[in-house]
Chain A
Amino acid sequence: KQEVTQIPAALSVPEGENLVLNCSFTDSAIYNLQWFRQDPGKGLTSLLLIQSSQREQTSGRLNASLDKSSGRSTLYIAASQPGDSATYLCAVIRLDDYKLSFGAGTTVTVRA
């Protein structure tokens, strides 16, 4: 059974600092990995999807890396802003049935 862990559970940083969010998973057999953002009381919004054959994806200030050999993914957010305050979830996606296994998330607070 796939276990997905996100450490730390919560993070508070001053505005402008770079954010580093970690995601680890136990089974690295052919999977894609996706990062989501969740605002309080809201649903999930997809941020980045890394294909199994890729090592990273970038979108604006966001960069996500994937190291299947070590079972890790890292989400980098450059020059954080108060609007980045949210919970960030990673999910590992099985390629046979596209089921997602989620981590519990990291709640980020960016202080102005």
Chain B
Amino acid sequence: NAGVTQTPKFQVLKTGQSMTLQCAQDMNHNSMYWYRQDPGMGLRLIYYSASEGTTDKGEVPNGYNVSRLNKREFSLRLESAAPSQTSVYFCASSVPGRETQYFGPGTRLLVL
């Protein structure tokens, strides 16, 4: 039981490049989330998926797209990376109606 896994662990991009961050969970959770964490700030919600086939914007969705590929996987895509998207990205999952979210180890992204 690996919990929530994220790939890659670290990535360097040039401005304008695109990439997809992958997230998978093996806990049979319906809800999945993408957050970003910046120095001196709390985690901020980018997008979430309450169930397979649905996605909704969070607090800071601009510049990102998401895909809920199936119940296990939820990917985050940067179409044209900008230096402001340099951050640590966390994926999380939960059971609907249960408050506790389980977090992955994070992806550290540097955009030059």
Chain A residues within CB distance 8 Å of chain B: 4, 9, 32, 34, 41-46, 49, 89, 91, 93, 97-105
User: Which A-chain residue is minimally distant from B58 (CB atoms)?
Assistant: A99
Whether B99 and A89, one on each chain, are in contact in the complex, defined by CB atoms closer than 8 angstroms, is no
The number of A-B residue pairs with CB atoms under 8 Å apart is 52
Tell me what chain B mostly uses at the interface: helix, strand, loop, or mixed: loop
Whether B42 and A49, one on each chain, are in contact in the complex, defined by CB atoms closer than 8 angstroms, is no
Q: B42's contact among A43, A97, A99, A101, by CB below 8 Å, is which?
A: A101
B62 within 8 A of A: no
Residues in A neighbouring B92, C-beta threshold 8 A: 44
Whether B42 and A102, one on each chain, are in contact in the complex, defined by CB atoms closer than 8 angstroms, is yes
Chain B residues within CB distance 8 Å of chain A: 4, 31, 40-45, 48, 50, 58, 90, 92, 94, 96-106
Whether A99 and B48, one on each chain, are in contact in the complex, defined by CB atoms closer than 8 angstroms, is yes
Whether B99 and A104, one on each chain, are in contact in the complex, defined by CB atoms closer than 8 angstroms, is no
Among A42, A100, A102, max chain B CB count under 10 A is at A100
